Amino acid sequence: MKTERFVISLGGSLIVPEQIDVRFLSEFKRVIEAEVRRGRKFVLITGGGKIARRYAAAARELRMLNRDDLDWLGIHSTRLNGHLLRTIFRNLAHPEINTNPYKPQRVSRPIVIAAGFRPGFSTDHDAVVLAHKYGVKTILNLSNIDYVYDKDPSKRRNAKPLKTVTWPEFRKLVGNKWHPGANLPFDPIASKLAQKLGLTVIMLNGNPISNLKNFLSGRKFKGTIIHG
């Protein structure tokens, strides 16, 4: 029987909401380890979180930054978080972090850790490319939001949660451009590629961790399915 592999894009908002969330990471570790014991494999891609935004904010106070400068600060923040995750999963993870999704490693261990690639590419985009390279059709995007909404809920009180949405509908919501530090449910450029490749992205709130456990166990979960 073919081993089931999952690609999880782990948002920096869960790893470093303000400080490093040790409680969440401990719970996440237990869930993934339990799934590995069931024979499942994972590609885990880390976001930058508040670390990336703080570095960018500090750098802006010191000088004008171009887009590449901002991107590299974010990329190295994702890599720092990736090294943290690799340390947590030391006994299960491939020892080298993937920083080029177009060159996925041949691995014998059940977990691959990935992080930022290069300027112009978000970790959402990396997740899409890695899913394609590893033959995975569904990406789990773990963040701190329950659903994708039809409007920005921070600005519109009548915003409605969407439990399922098609790629054309979703792309109308997020537009066609991405820039470093953009606060969008899923990168518009990655969305275009995911639609082209026929991938499904499931947006899940990782807190509480039971939401992820429910999905992996085939039970009812809270989130938005982006498809077709």
pLDDT at 62: 82
Cα atoms in the Cβ-side hemisphere of radius 13 Å centred on 191: 24
pLDDT at 175: 87
pLDDT at 27: 98
pLDDT at 110: 97
The total number of structural domains in the chain stands at: 1
Q: What is the domain extent for residue 75?
A: 5-227
Distance CA 208, CA 149 (A): 20
pLDDT at 1: 45
pTM greater than 0.75: yes
CATH of the domain at 28: 3.40.1160.10
Regions of the chain where pLDDT drops below 50: 1
Name the 3-class secondary structure at 9.
strand
Q: How far is CA 204 from the centre of its chain?
A: 10
Q: How far is CA 122 from the centre of its chain?
A: 9
pLDDT at 2: 60
Q: How many other CB atoms sit within 10 Å of the CB of residue 80?
A: 18
User: Shortest CA distance to 5 belongs to which of 48, 45, 39?
Assistant: 39
Q: For 101-137, how does the pLDDT look when each residue is reduced to its tens digit (9 = 90+)?
A: 999 998 999 999 999 999 988 999 999 999 999 999 9
Q: Which amino acid is at 36?
A: V
pLDDT at 182: 65
